[in-house]
Structure 1
Amino acid sequence: VGSHSLKRKKAEDGRPAQTNIRRLSTVEADGNRFLLARIPVVQQSDGYALARKVDTDGRTAAQLHGNKVGNDLTTEIAGDDQLCDFLRIPGKDNGFDIEGLAVIGSRLLLGLRGPVLRGWAVLLEIETELSDDSTDTLVLKKIGPNGRRYRKHFFALNGLGVRDLCTSDDDLLILAGPSMDLDGPVTIFRWRGGFTSDEESVVFADQLEKVLEVPFGQGTDHAEGICLFESGEQLGEVMLIVYDSAAGSRKHGDTDVEGDLFILN
């Protein structure tokens, strides 16, 4: 899934002030950001491979219909009184910005880095199916109230937005960080038994467990991705965290970078 966000150009050191002011006034759309797709994974003798089509079970690669400025999901959000205005605001400016994905059965959970609404983070829940007219086009099912094609869930994450999601049995683990361009704080929350119902939800702080305060650097080591890690040796639940803007000490050669393993409470 792409971020579905607009992007604002950065000011660059060494450029004239008026040039940087123009850059900061420039907001662009990138078609690659408006992607929501699936690709079949096929097990082979020497590992796994991606496939456009799997004849044995009929699975096909497919994506939600879209173009350079949006897709069917943003079209739906454009009619939402709470979220529509944030589609015009770039990511990292508290605009609409998807930064987390988790799968529960046939449902997809999309975590929003922004907007954070009066301290409340937002998760969108969607379910897709193949279009009747095409084997490579997905459509959104009507799963929300009044025939809406998504559900909304609100979480009290101490004013933070969602940076990533993963599941642990029936629990939802949320990597939360700033919606704006800040280093921290960064926290992992657990919602026990989350998403066992088909209703929209408002989850208050006392319904969440704070399981980890994630270290962060000054301009480096911004936690960006999480997953549970199994080595066969751990005594408890272990989480792998990887970072954007990784510190130089994490980089090894041209292709290798270190993440961190944490034992969760």
Structure 2
Amino acid sequence: MQLSAAKLECINQSNLLMTALAGDPHLGLYIQAAVPGKDNGFDIEGISIYQNRIFLGLRGPVLRGWAVILEIELEKSTPGLMTLRQIGDVQKGYKKHFLWLNGLGIRDLALDGEDLLILAGPTMDLDGPVQLYRWQGGVNVAENILSYPEFVQDIPYGNREDHAEGMTLFNDITGKPSLLIVYDSPAKSRLVGESGVIADLLSLVMSNE
């Protein structure tokens, strides 16, 4: 099978998803007003794929403490272009999921079976807190449901440095499930030579352990 690149169709200097969301009762005003992403405006920072579904984690906006994950499906339109499949109860181009992450936005997503691991941090330009959550069975949750993912652990952060921005599942040399965390604005102590940087490998523990 040959792979090829494609992008979402654009309309009037925007794409189909942004056009659809502009009329959304929860997110539309943030998009229409062009609120800056780092000021609790619309900002996609997490992405994870399960089968033919794409989950997009929003750093912002956080709505009265609730973070948002968008779920979309794509289908071919013309060569090199994709369109939104009509999904959900009202057959629109996306589904919405609302999650309580202690008032934090989403910095990254990682798929673990049918669970979604969520790296959560401030929506605005603040150092912390940064926390990890597990949304059990998240890929199968119905839309427009208020979900309470399980808190897993705190993630370290620095003073104007070491802002956790990405993660991936990783097994250490003993085979123990772990999480590899990488940071934006890494501390000088993390820098190795001209092009190296040290990441963190954290044991993936559940909150009840």
Do both share a fold (TM > 0.5)?
A: yes
Count of residues in correspondence between the two structures: 203
Aligned to 1:240: 180
CA separation of 1:193/1:143 partners in 2, compared to 1, >3 Å: closer, same or farther?
same
- Structure 2 unaligned blocks of 5 or more: none
Deviation at 1:243, TM superposition (A): 0.3
Aligned to 1:210: 151
Aligned to 1:136: 80
Query: What amino acid is the match of 2:178?
Result: V
Q: Scaled by the length of structure 2, what TM-score is found?
A: 0.92
Q: Is contact 1:60–1:135 with CA below 8 Å preserved after alignment?
A: no
Q: Distance in 1 between matches of 2:40 and 2:144?
A: 23
Aligned to 1:259: 199
Q: Is contact 2:96–2:143 with CA below 8 Å preserved after alignment?
A: no
Deviation at 1:58, TM superposition (A): 4.3
Aligned to 1:228: 169
- Structure 1 unaligned blocks of 5 or more: 1-56
Query: Is 1:114 matched with 2:54?
Result: no
Aligned to 1:187: 131
Q: Scaled by the length of structure 1, what TM-score is found?
A: 0.73
Deviations for 1:221-251, whole angstroms, at most 9, x for unmatched residues?
Answer: 000001001345233x200000001111111
Deviation at 1:212, TM superposition (A): 1.4
Deviates more, 1:83-92 or 1:60-69: 60-69
Aligned to 1:27: none
Q: Distance in 1 between matches of 2:151 and 2:47?
A: 20
Q: Is contact 2:108–2:167 with CA below 8 Å preserved after alignment?
A: yes
Q: Is contact 1:173–1:189 with CA below 8 Å preserved after alignment?
A: yes
SS of residue matched to 1:75: helix
Q: Distance in 2 between matches of 1:230 and 1:200?
A: 34
Query: What amino acid is the match of 1:168?
Result: D
Aligned to 1:89: 35
More strand per residue: 2
Aligned to 1:71: 15
Deviation at 1:144, TM superposition (A): 2.4
Q: Distance in 2 between matches of 1:90 and 1:245?
A: 20
Deviation at 1:67, TM superposition (A): 7.1
Query: Is 1:157 matched with 2:101?
Result: yes
Q: Is contact 1:167–1:173 with CA below 8 Å preserved after alignment?
A: yes
Query: What amino acid is the match of 1:194?
Result: G
Question: Which protein has greater RCO, CA pairs closer than 8 Å, 6+ apart?
Answer: 2
| CA-based RMSD | 1.5
Q: Distance in 1 between matches of 2:121 and 2:131?
A: 7
Q: Is contact 1:191–1:209 with CA below 8 Å preserved after alignment?
A: yes
Instruction: Please say which structure displays the higher CA radius of gyration.
Output: 1
